[in-house]
Amino acid sequence: MLNCKRFMSVGLIVLLLAMAMPSFAFAAESPVFTLTQGKSDNDIEIVVTADKLTDMYAFEVKLSFDAEKLRLKSASSSITGYSISPIVEGGQIVFASTKIGKKQGDSGKSKLSSFLFESLGKGEAEIKLTDVKLVNSALGSVTLKPNVKLTAVLDDFAVLFKDIAAHWARTAIERAVKLGFINGYTDGTFRPNAQVTRAEFAAMLVRALDMQASVGDTTTFKDAGSIPGWASGFAATAVEAGILTGYEDQTFRPGKPITRSEIAVMVTRALAWEADPAKKSSFADRDLIPAWAHPSVAMAAEAGILRGRGDNQFAPNANATRAEAVTLLLAAIDVKE
């Protein structure tokens, strides 16, 4: 039944896609697909993203989902052109979209589509991207089977932690926990005003920006033995990527509270922004910002990633709190996407 419906619906754009044309080979690496759970006030948003694309003119995606816990409400495409209405049969969705006219396809990284689900229960529900058909501007096609899974969190995050109900960062904290890059403590607290250490922020940053945790070696630091086991892979990733460096005495100092200037530099490095040495922020206390941090603070503030602490004060040498770190990383995620 699904195949019949799919044939009738997709048939409207087959002339545009020319699915029957010979398959094409990718000029570079094969595309990489990811599923992420986005932010939606009352629904569950699932975003399909592709990286390492080469001339993508059209696509068709197939997902499976837990129909007992989720109901599809809508689907949208990042492509400007024509999309079919999503075909849903049981726990399977087929969705296709194409550009129109003679134009080049997309290359690099692209958010293919977004699926909005209504939650029918609480707990967790698995969603799987099983098939992706890509069509290039020469109307050649290839079908891939990424088999990428995501476990969607369906719980109602009313008040996750007993110490954030009245906190200014409550919404950001709940979203960060939902995205999975930070957790609370076993006593039911989040401790939003607690300071963040260098090791903790390295772990938060690597998880938030979906960087591959490294199995690299941090023993080159004199104090490598003091880096907690849970943080070693994240610290190695940050060091290898040039995001985080040690000190002149060859120490890493994992337990040292990180400053607001340091996190500004780390985030802009992680986003691969090219620093402009002449760039300075408009903060009232900008004379207190270390010279090495001026460009990063200015760029992060200009992009809306970083905020002051009131009276246009940046407080560059103050230690960052968990709430501040979460808020900054969420803004970085939004800018990156």
pLDDT recorded at residue 298: 92
pLDDT recorded at residue 139: 92
pTM here is 0.53
Length of the chain as a residue count: 337
> How far, in Å, are 22, 26, 146, 309 from residue 131 at the CA level?
18, 17, 6, 47
pLDDT recorded at residue 122: 67
DSSP 140: -
Burial 68-92 (b: 16+ CB within 10 A, else e): ebbebeebebbbeebbbebbbeebb
pLDDT recorded at residue 22: 43
| Whole-angstrom distance, CA of residue 251 vs CA of residue 240 | 15
pLDDT recorded at residue 320: 94
| Whole-angstrom distance, CA of residue 299 vs CA of residue 272 | 12
pLDDT recorded at residue 218: 63
pLDDT recorded at residue 49: 94
| Whole-angstrom distance, CA of residue 67 vs CA of residue 107 | 33
Exposed, middle or buried, 117 (CB in 10 Å: 0-12/13-18/19+)?
Answer: buried
**Domain formed by 2-153, architecture:** Sandwich (2.60)
pLDDT recorded at residue 277: 83
> How does DSSP assign 51-102, residue by residue?
EEEEEE-EEEEEEEE-TTTEEEEEEEESSSSEEPPPEEETTEEEEEEE--SS
pLDDT tens sequence for the chain (337 residues): 444 444 334 444 443 444 434 444 444 578 999 999 876 656 789 999 999 999 999 999 999 999 888 889 899 998 889 999 999 998 999 999 999 999 999 999 999 999 998 776 667 889 999 999 999 999 999 999 998 999 988 765 445 688 988 899 988 888 888 888 888 887 889 999 999 999 999 999 999 988 876 566 666 889 988 988 888 888 889 988 889 888 889 999 999 999 999 999 999 999 999 878 888 888 999 999 999 999 999 999 988 888 888 889 999 999 999 999 999 999 999 888 6
Residues of the chain with CATH 2.60.40.680: 2-153
